Amino acid sequence: MSSRAVPSRRSIVVAAAWGVPVVAVATAVPAAAAASGTVLSFSAAAYQAAACSMISGATVRAESNGTALAGVVVSLHLSAGYAFALGGASATVTTDTDGTAPCGDILVPASGVAGTLTATAATATSAAAALSATPTHRLVSTPSGTTAVTAVPAAAVPVSGEFFLDGQTLFRHGVGAVQTDVVAVGALAESPSKNGSFLLPLRLADGSAVVFDTATTTASPATGTPAGATPVAADLFLSGTTLYRGGVAVASDVAATGQLVEHEQGSGPTGRFHLPFRATDGTPRLYRSPADEVRTAFEFGQPAGPPAGATPVAGDLFAADGSLYRVSWDGSTPYPTGAIASAIQAWGTLTPNPFFSGQRLLPVRTTGGDAAVVFVSTGRTRVVAQVPSGASPIGADLFLSGSTVYQADVGARITDVGQIGQPVPIAAGASRIVVPVSAAAPQC
């Protein structure tokens, strides 16, 4: 008896717009089948639908020398957790007068793992088609653009830039697995060596510290770093209250760290990267890489400087009591120091301004719930439009409200977002920012 399931309301058409091309699976041809001349084939080489939804429209065909064969009993089999709507991973169908038979709706598992639909019949050449879930990950760019992520498992979690973590395996968009045994990940940041690469600090399952280089696509051991150290950013790790770089202690009495950012002195990048941190005694300090120098913020203790206990934000920025403070290394700076913004409740990642080269943006939420951006160079704060009140700042000009990512003065960019990773420039010196996101976890 043929299995002719009625498509459900959640059925998705084959090869959806966001579908990722999949290569059909090759199968061996039995000698008897070759002799009979009966050949089975599917209506498509690959089928896709969202996880926990139905693939519909798949049909199998039997023919001999181009002539359709009716009454051929075909056995269908599914792998990797895919299931027929009527239940089970196997079904039997019989071809009609046109030589075809519908396969019925196929449920895509929540994992979204790749699977196979196989058709066999007595003394016939078998057929196989690839099954997969439509991409659940996206790269949201600003000022514009959204890219479907490939070569990353559906269950992976966005980390930063093009990187995702699935269990203990690190994946990269378009590449696949790049590192195994990963149990902790820090912030992706441009290499202080200014060689065009970005560095991602990792802690492995054995407690060791390694640094993944995006240019060489290899992870190098941070020999000398204490086992179990926490990855911070680029090639920096924190063990207890001591900051390590290259296995060498470079700062002590570290209680909390902010975002590692290349310092800018009004004439462009300087090649010096600042990591703001709060010392164990509450003083705001700056660590400078690659020189491995540490100083207390020059403005600390001055009337306009940040107070003890201030929270490190990014680069030369600290926050305290709703105000955002800029500090300097030695008092020499072309920008105003002291409080540069007030009534700040939350902030996102500091990034280059996607619209104007040479500027930097810090998205914030004000104490009144408004979405705003701080132009860090000038210290000007601007409340933005088309972003819901109370939205959480992400990075650049992007905000999250519920499960929707909004762009300042643009509105909703992408919906059904479950998780968000770290925003980063697409390349060293670039102003275009990319944020990895994953869809809300499906419930089957």
- What is the Cα–Cα distance from 310 to 283, expressed in whole angstroms? 8
pLDDT at 26: 34
Q: How many CA atoms lie within 13 A of 371 on its CB side?
A: 26
The confidence band for 267, taking pLDDT boundaries of 50, 70 and 90, is: low
Whether 262 has a pLDDT exceeding 80, the answer reads yes
Q: Residues 381-426: pLDDT tens digits?
A: 999 999 999 999 999 999 999 999 999 999 999 998 999 999 999 9
Q: Please, what's the b/e burial string for 60-97 (b: 16 or more CB within 10 A of its CB; e: otherwise)? A: bbbbeeeeebeebebebbbeebbbbbeeeeebebebee
Whether 12 has a pLDDT exceeding 80, the answer reads no
For 290-343, where are the E strands, in sequence order? 293-296, 311-314, 317-320, 323-326, 338-341
- What is the Cα–Cα distance from 306 to 279, expressed in whole angstroms? 13
Contact between 132 and 112 under an 8 Å Cβ cutoff? The reply is yes
- What is the Cα–Cα distance from 357 to 107, expressed in whole angstroms? 48
The confidence band for 36, taking pLDDT boundaries of 50, 70 and 90, is: low
Which pTM does this prediction carry?
Answer: 0.78
Q: Residues 209-251: pLDDT tens digits?
A: 999 999 999 999 999 999 999 999 999 999 999 999 999 999 9
pLDDT at 191: 95
The confidence band for 270, taking pLDDT boundaries of 50, 70 and 90, is: confident
Whether 9 has a pLDDT exceeding 80, the answer reads no
Dihedral, CA atoms, 363, 367, 371, 374, nearest 10 degrees?
-40
DSSP letter at 442 equals P
Q: Residues 43-74: pLDDT tens digits?
A: 999 999 988 899 999 999 999 999 999 999 99
pLDDT at 114: 87
- What is the Cα–Cα distance from 121 to 70, expressed in whole angstroms? 13
- Going by their DSSP bridges, the two strands 344-347 and 182-185 should be labelled as unpaired
Whether residue 135 has a cis bond before it, omega within 30° of 0: no
- What is the Cα–Cα distance from 400 to 379, expressed in whole angstroms? 23
